[in-house]
Amino acid sequence: MDINKELIAFLDRSPTCFHAVDNIRRTLKENGYRELSEAEHWDLSAGNYFCTRNDSSLIAFRIPQGEWNGFMIGAAHSDSPAFKIKENPDIHKDGMTVLNVEKYGGMLCAPWFDRPLSAAGRAVVKENGRLVTKLINIDRDLLVIPSLAIHMNRKANEEASYNVQEDMKPLLTGGEKSFMAVVAQETGIREEDILGYDLYVCPRTRGTVWGAENEFISAPHLDDLQCAFGNLRGFMEAEETAAVPVYALFDNEEVGSRTKQGADSTFLEDVLGRIAESCNKEYRVCAACSFMVSADNAHAVHPNYSGKADPVNRPAINGGIVLKFSGNQKYTSDAVSAAVFRSVCEKADVPVQVFTNRSDMVGGSTLGNISNSHVSLHTVDIGLPQLAMHSPWETAGVRDTEYLVRAMKAFFSSSLAVEDGAIRIG
């Protein structure tokens, strides 16, 4: 299957972070990876393993047959900006029912109007005396956030300001049927058995490849599931080396990562420590011989707003992987980590571009520097160039997906050694 068709299929099956992790879990199991539980003792030997936390973060790794000295970590995040459906969501008014929602992450609001939407996430259900988590994906057009007609807001095209509490409530029904009754009806779960849920409004439009030369891909969740997908493919295809390859996928990056399953948690540190302990290795020595690629999509130069980009560092869609720098270290890339990553990409014959913010604009941060506060090691921030970041319909390049797979295959097929203060990547 073409790599971008495969990506679109993955995106279509992953309306929320819970679905993305479940799909990756299935892929790993199909390829012989053993699932570990954090609540059990780990007795590890050479082989393939993974574990999850909160069903929304996942770490997979392979212990090689021979000696190893460190970890080669590729990280991305599973979440995307969306509207989260509140508890007791139904608002009945004027013979209609709309849903009470709130913003999750820093999102572009305007593209959510007047498009088919649905709901997905997870529910915790009482089942035979236990609390069981069920994935929810209402696979039909269920909701719309209707715009206010131009006749009632003549300045609609001049003033784009949205109050989520007032303006962004999705329309569910022309009657008074409750949202949870719909969830129960669509899933076969009794409404009274649902004791908790994390449900989100999700776009229904399927991804597509388009353009005069079919050079673009547009879809929901490209930030950051395009990197999650590319990292996974590179991880699965990599060859064994004198390092443990680690595939890490964290939740809650879009809201600061400060959760038990985010990059600001102990998840990565816990897993790496347990690997080292089980293999009779000294964890701190292993960390000193390790490297992380923090992969989170980057801003391409916008054809209608080219002045928003730095005057020199101007990433182009399909121009290759973007290496991110920031003078205030919101990105982790420095001279050493950039040199290592450029060496990997040269080996993989993958082009590299550079992103820096304009000096009068403040950019966002990534999971790389947040994770480094727990697991301190050489780290580089990269991404794939895209347009309309944090829209429910984002645009990137078809060639860049393949570039990431090739680069991460080369990365995961490498190991890092420190010799007399110098770094050898091999």
Q: Maximum distance among all alpha carbons in the chain?
A: 75
Which of 397, 316, 304 has its CA nearest to residue 352? 316
The answer on pLDDT for 327 being more than 70 is: yes
- The tokens describing 215, both together, are 């050079």
Tell me which fold the domain 83-203 belongs to.
Aminopeptidase i, Domain 2 (2.30.250)
Asked if 97 and 108 touch (Cβ cutoff 8 Å), the reply is: no
What is the 8-class DSSP label of residue 237? Answer: H
Give the angle 216-218-222 at the CA atoms, nearest 5°. 110
Stretch 46-65: mean pLDDT: 97
Backbone angles phi, psi at 137, to 5 degrees: -145, 100
| pLDDT for the residue numbered 6 | 97
**Cβ neighbours around 359 below 10 Å, total:** 8
CB-based contact 309:301 (threshold 8 Å): yes
- Can you read off the two tokens belonging to residue 141? 């057009």
Each residue's pLDDT tens digit, 56-104: 999 999 999 999 999 999 999 999 999 999 999 999 999 999 999 999 9
DSSP-assigned letter for residue 192: G
What are the CA-CA distances from residue 142 to residues 85, 104, 179, 385 (Å)? 14, 20, 10, 32
The pLDDT value recorded for residue 113 is 97
In percent, the amount of the chain with pLDDT more than 90 equals: 90
- Other CB atoms within a 10 A radius of the CB of residue 372 amount to 17
Distance, CA of 96 to chain centre:
35
Residues of the chain within CATH 2.30.250.10 domain(s) are: 83-203
Give the C-alpha distances (Å, rounded to integers) separating 290 from 74, 140, 210, 379: 11, 45, 39, 9
Rounded to whole angstroms, the Cα distance separating 109 from 103 reads 9
184, pLDDT greater than 80: yes
pTM attached to this predicted model: 0.96
Whole-number pLDDT of residue 160: 79
Span 405-425, mean pLDDT?
A: 91
Homologous superfamily (CATH) of 3-80+220-425 is Zn peptidases (3.40.630.10)
Which pLDDT tens digit goes with each residue over 262-309? 999 999 999 999 999 999 999 999 999 999 999 999 999 999 999 999
Tell me what pLDDT residue 363 has.
75
| Three-state DSSP class for residue 99 | strand
Give the three-class secondary structure for 284. Answer: helix
Average pLDDT over residues 391-395: 97
* Residues 331 and 381 sit within 8 Å (Cβ to Cβ): yes
CA 247 – CA 48 distance, rounded (Å): 11
Mean pLDDT, all residues of the chain: 95
Residue 393 has pLDDT above 70, yes or no: yes
Provide mean pLDDT across the span 113-117.
97
Report whether pLDDT(370) > 80: yes
Residue range(s) of every CATH 3.40.630.10 domain in the chain: 3-80+220-425
Q: Is the pLDDT score of 1 beyond 60?
A: no
Mean pLDDT across 215-240? 97
The predicted-structure confidence for 397-412, as pLDDT tens digits, reads as follows 999 999 999 999 999 9
Q: Give the Cα separation of 99 and 119 in Å (integer).
A: 11
